[in-house]
Structure 1
Amino acid sequence: MAAVKGEETAMVEDAILGYLATHEVIADSGQFAYEHGLDHNEVVNVIKSLHGFRFIDAQDIKRETWALTDEGKKYADEGSPEVQLFLAVPPEGSIWMDELQKKLDPSVFKIGCLQAGKNKWVDMGKQVSRKVQHVEDKVKNLLIQIQDGQTSVSIYSLIGLIGLSNSKFLGGPVDEQGGDWKELEFKEYNFNAKGPPAEAGHLHPLLKVKDQLKNMFLRMGFEEMPTNNFVESSFWNFDALFQPQQHPARDAHDTFFLEAPSTTRKLPEEYVELVKRVHEDGGYGSRGYGYEWKREEANKNLLRTHTTAVSTRMLYALAKQPFAPKKYFSIDRVFRNEAVDRTHLAEFHQIEGLVCDRGLTLGDLIGVLHDFFSQLGMSNLRFKPTYNPYTEPSMEVFSYHEGLGKWVEIGNSGVFRPEMLRPMGLPEDASVIAWGLSLERPTMILYGISNIRDLFGHKVDLSLIRRNPICRIGIN
């Protein structure tokens, strides 16, 4: 509804509508404001109001103009940095880089070196020499054109204020109590129009699958392990898992070691001694590795290469209590110094599950794996024998990937070795079956993504996150 306007607004309305009463078009609101001594911002506001009430028709006009900064004016007068640097190099012979730097302003020298080298005008080294004898300063010429106003451009459509659609003006007071409002024309309101969609965050496909997996584990009676330590010692990550200190996985080519702090400050000494003994001399039916175990290697800090380091800590804590069967799981980030390709990243998420009970066998492991992966909608599995330092027997798990058109390894599994469990203090008849897989692989299969770099990392298309559906894992 029309309301009492400020004096300036009323004056602008009178000026616009009074002009249109005798003229068909106002071609340019900016020019109109200038000629009538009006504030252009206020003119624009009134135009929008009049247009909204359908008193006038209006079209936008947009203009772009270029103006030089102080730096641009300087280059227009003195030449671009690359030409200044080129001219400072002798036409014949060469000049020492240090001497050339002294002849130019620091910013001119820095930009000039980059652009002159890129243009292949000069040879850059300890000495600088010309590769060509003449160059054209296109940058300076363009800056001069801008300075002379030759690059101003007018784009888009003109503003046209075309005719009046009502004899009533908006300006002036309205007598609401007297009923003047009944004769005013109101802007129509579309009650069926939808408002703009609300901006909101979107869960990444990895988070969707992670949430479903977490709920699945909890329904199966598993307890989540704490995984808040990305940094681990080599002891918990390798040694406690009966992985020898000369194993290739402990090389810098495969593992990210920390520079600071480079070593851990505290380890359980009695347990460390038992781990050392089983590495060097064996035990529990094992001959060990027969090498000199070094404490300094165990002390090294690293970015954990697997969440099995967390499992080791949990089993060690479990062994300190009266034995009771346990089922644990974790889903979190791990780091490996791997070459990046369509199925591998140096940083990824690992899912790990383990069951600790008396008398578990390989048959129990296969049964649990079929149960677990069938709930992910992956009932078509294959198993392949493999070697792990801390499990025996061990199996790789494969599932068929429709997008890649081949069988893809989706996990690793096995029965933890006595050399790992007995030093912790777990009973001799206690067994632990465990399996691990990346979160990325099943997510790729579930969402039909063939390249892991399209799922995780700096090359991910954000629209992928917005348009992907809710994760629907095929739970039986």
Structure 2
Amino acid sequence: MDLTVNEKRVLSVLAGKTSCTDAELAALLESPAESAVQWSHLCADRGLAVVEKQVEKTAKLTEEGEKYAAEGLPERQVLSVINGTIPMKELTAHPLSRIAIGWLRKKNWIIMDKGMVSVNHEAALKNLTADAKGTAELVKRGLAVIEETVSWTIKITPEGKALADAGLDLREEVGTLTRDQILSGEWKDLALRRYSVDKLPKRIYGGRVHPNQQILDEIRDLLFEMGFTEFHGSIVQNAFWNFDALYQPQDHPAREMQDTFHLAEELPLPEGWEQVREIHMNGGSTGWGGEWNPEISKKCVLRTHSTSLSIQHLAKNPNPPLKAFSISRVYRRETIDPTHLPEFEQLEGIVMDEGLTFGHLLGFFKEFFGRMGFEEVRFRPGYFPYTEPSVEPEVWVDGLGWVELGGAGIFRKEVTAPWGINCPVLAWGLGVSRVSMLRMGLKDLRQLYKSDIDWIRNSPARRV
């Protein structure tokens, strides 16, 4: 067994004793007590010694407690001036009354009636010594503190005794060689310190990026590699951008596809809102028909999907080509359970160019999900008010089967025409929180947003 010279010294001292305190061991080793305890623990880790900890608690008076020990507690000092029955005004004139009255009442030592105060002699006599034995109460009042004294008892084990009796080389070990020792060959006669290279060093827990954020960053970097730019937008949107600009009618169940957080505030309509109104009333074949109320469009909501950011980005950048995405929080009135939360991340993407087809959209998903580690991808027909045709991509996950990850399609002309866009726009919205769950093997969406330090520490580092 490879021992350091200090561990050997500890065993040599303990071999001739039944037990030893840390102070005694430190004196025999001519070393600080802290070092003696540390070396003893190293021996204990090897099964060569037993280290026992003793903690002695003692109460010590504070400066204020010392004062009252000499003069008496405030309640006793004030009690001594009450002769018979006195007015409360006279009692409060005492310099310690502010502290004492509360304790006199708590101990039931006084009787207060109609502005007069008298001594409750029966209670006072009964509790005459109660304050003298109440250490916990003195600590609570700040009149005493509890001090702990830690000591250690060290004993050698039979294994340690056998090792010591067999003889230990107590020569000082050298951990660092000088140039002269190497050149002269002196190092050959030195006792070199042995190092255990098969033991892992102490783990250091530095700062870590949250596992969910790691995957969001990975998705962001992947889209940058694929030639996309990123856009952003406000959490609060008016109903115009969240619903109307996406061809969701004001009086139709399609607007209730997501339960919405409605706000009391309003935002003005943007330039070009008249074309959206015209599309709603008369666009396509006959539009949605009915009336279109601009006041409804001004009302604010927490965005229910980040597609509201996509259409705003298109309105500002109507000329092709364009490849852009957004990773942002969306908000819905969902019942919290293992697969639903009222807020979560959504990946929104748009590609605009001449000649784009539905096949390009499916090809993008195969490439994207393949790079994210999902080898099998399939597509199911879908329906969304603002895309046609529409599709729902699914990926195969062992143990779960096919899992749907979002919705996609080609923006309808009713969505793009008001902004002067005449070429196809591929669009999609993916639940990246679900992607994170699948990548990490989680079964509860809520775990993504918990501050579980052990989980964060032990999660694999992000792929670079």
Please report the TM-score for the alignment, with normalisation by the length of structure 2.
0.60
Matched with 1:125 is none
Alpha-carbon deviation of 1:201? 1.6
* Structure 1 residues 156 and 273: alpha-carbon distance in aligned structure 2, compared to 1, 3 A threshold: farther
Alpha-carbon deviation of 1:426? 1.1
Matched with 1:201 is 207
2:217 is the alignment partner of 1:211 = yes
Matched with 1:421 is 416
Does structure 2 retain, via aligned residues, the 8 Å contact 1:67–1:146? no
> For residue 421 of structure 1, what is the amino acid of its counterpart?
T
Matched with 1:236 is 241
Matched with 2:294 is 294
Does structure 1 retain, via aligned residues, the 8 Å contact 2:247–2:415? yes
2:321 is the alignment partner of 1:325 = yes
Matched with 2:250 is 245
382-391 vs 245-254, which moves further: 245-254
Alpha-carbon deviation of 1:209? 1.9
2:452 is the alignment partner of 1:466 = no
Describe the superposition over 1:407-460 as per-residue Cα deviations: whole angstroms up to 9, x where unpaired. Answer: 221110111011110001112xx1111111111222222222222122x223x5
Matched with 1:368 is 364
**1:429-440 correspondence runs (5 A):** 430-440=423-433
**Aligned equivalents of 1:156, 1:48: Cα separation in 2:** 11
Matched with 1:308 is 307
**Aligned equivalents of 1:380, 1:69: Cα separation in 2:** 74
Does structure 2 retain, via aligned residues, the 8 Å contact 1:67–1:147? no
Matched with 2:351 is 355
**Aligned equivalents of 1:203, 1:288: Cα separation in 2:** 48
1:267 to 257, 269, 276: 269
**Aligned equivalents of 2:61, 2:412: Cα separation in 1:** 72
2:33 is the alignment partner of 1:47 = yes
> For residue 300 of structure 1, what is the amino acid of its counterpart?
K
Matched with 1:84 is none
**Aligned equivalents of 2:378, 2:134: Cα separation in 1:** 72
Does structure 2 retain, via aligned residues, the 8 Å contact 1:331–1:352? yes
Does structure 1 retain, via aligned residues, the 8 Å contact 2:303–2:330? yes
**Aligned equivalents of 1:355, 1:66: Cα separation in 2:** 74
Q: Secondary structure at the match of 2:426?
A: strand
Q: Secondary structure at the match of 2:449?
A: coil
Describe the superposition over 1:230-256 as per-residue Cα deviations: whole angstroms up to 9, x where unpaired. Answer: 222222121111112245575698122
**Aligned equivalents of 2:258, 2:368: Cα separation in 1:** 33
Q: Which runs of 5+ in 1 are unaligned?
A: 1-22, 31-44, 71-104, 109-139, 167-187
Does structure 2 retain, via aligned residues, the 8 Å contact 1:249–1:255? no
Does structure 2 retain, via aligned residues, the 8 Å contact 1:225–1:314? no
- The number of equivalent residue pairs is 341
Alpha-carbon deviation of 1:215? 2.3
Q: Secondary structure at the match of 1:396?
A: strand
Describe the superposition over 1:74-129 as per-residue Cα deviations: whole angstroms up to 9, x where unpaired. Answer: xxxxxxxxxxxxxxxxxxxxxxxxxxxxxxx9xx9xxxxxxxxxxxxxxxxxxxxx
> For residue 465 of structure 1, what is the amino acid of its counterpart?
I
Does structure 1 retain, via aligned residues, the 8 Å contact 2:258–2:304? no
> For residue 204 of structure 2, what is the amino acid of its counterpart?
A
**Aligned equivalents of 1:196, 1:156: Cα separation in 2:** 26
Q: Secondary structure at the match of 1:258?
A: strand
Please report the TM-score for the alignment, with normalisation by the length of structure 1.
0.59
**Aligned equivalents of 2:39, 2:225: Cα separation in 1:** 61
Alpha-carbon deviation of 1:358? 2.2
Percent same amino acid among aligned pairs? 34
**1:393-404 correspondence runs (5 A):** 393-403=389-399
Q: Which structure has the larger Rg?
A: 2
> For residue 349 of structure 1, what is the amino acid of its counterpart?
E
Matched with 1:132 is none
Alpha-carbon deviation of 1:315? 0.5
> For residue 431 of structure 1, what is the amino acid of its counterpart?
P
**Aligned equivalents of 2:244, 2:315: Cα separation in 1:** 13
RMSD (Å) for aligned C-alpha atoms: 4.8
**1:78-97 correspondence runs (5 A):** none
Alpha-carbon deviation of 1:29? 6.2
* Structure 1 residues 413 and 196: alpha-carbon distance in aligned structure 2, compared to 1, 3 A threshold: same
> For residue 266 of structure 2, what is the amino acid of its counterpart?
T
